[in-house]
Amino acid sequence: MKSESQGERDDELVQLVDVEGRPTGVAPRTECHRNRSMLHAAVHVLVFNRAGEIFLQRRSPDKEIQPGLWDSSVGGHVRPDERPEEAAIREMREELGVTADLHFSHEYIWWSQQETEYVRTYLALHEGPFVHDPWEIAEAKFWTREEISRDMGTGVFTPNFELEVEWLRCDLSGVLRRWAKFYGWKGERPFI
């Protein structure tokens, strides 16, 4: 049985966008999750600590899409009349109970069997503690680069997070290189 807040989230209106990420309209979240032709805006936040570890969440077993898999620190949809960065800040508060300075990293279109999203990803530094939403997150913890490398391709992570790792390896924004230098992260690359 769905809780009241779960029902409200199912009926949430999200921003439809074109292939450049420009708003084109709105639609219910559940409709977008059943129609791959409805490109809609989403945000991810990847939270790092000063040791260079990344905070990941294991999706609730009750989630409609990819239940029980480890995923990005924060993920959510952009609401009508909301800028992506505003959505990322809101989602961090809702899912982890914190705020942090956000740094734009990359954007891409994600196709899955259920949906098509225009994803904007932000990076943040935060040590915690975090208070996660039990409806959204079954478990959460910081992962080392070695742990993530070990479990890539084994079915532990969502396919979307594994794509995020590829973007992190590229570090197009240079944010991870700056953090790696400032905090003394070891390794040839700032991530993986």
Q: Is residue 90 part of a domain?
A: yes
19 lies in a domain? yes
Domain assignment present for residue 63? The answer is: yes
- Measured between alpha carbons, how far is 55 from 141 in angstroms, rounded to an integer? 5
Q: Is residue 31 part of a domain?
A: yes
Name the nearest CA neighbour of 71 among 139, 171, 173, 145: 139
189 in a structural domain: no
Residue 11 has pLDDT above 90, yes or no: no
Number of domains in the chain: 1
| C-alpha to C-alpha distance for 59 and 2, rounded to whole angstroms | 16
Condensed to tens digits (0 to 9), the pLDDT of residues 43-85 reads 999 999 999 999 999 998 988 888 999 999 999 999 999 999 9
Does residue 187 form part of some domain?
Answer: no
Across the chain, what does the average pLDDT equal?
90
* pLDDT tens sequence across 96-147: 999 999 999 999 999 988 899 999 999 999 999 999 878 888 999 999 999 9
Residue 32 backbone phi and psi in degrees, to 5: -65, -35
Q: Which domain holds residue 116?
A: 4-182
The verdict on whether omega for the bond into residue 129 sits within 30 degrees of 0, i.e. cis, is yes
> Residue 90, Cα to own-chain centre: how many angstroms?
12
CATH of the domain at 81: 3.90.79.10
pLDDT > 90 in the chain, percent: 76
pLDDT tens digits for range 42-52? 999 999 999 99
Residue 127 lies in a domain: yes
190 is a domain residue? no
Strands (E) located in the chain: 13-17, 23-28, 39-48, 54-59, 70-71, 74-77, 103-111, 116-125, 137-143
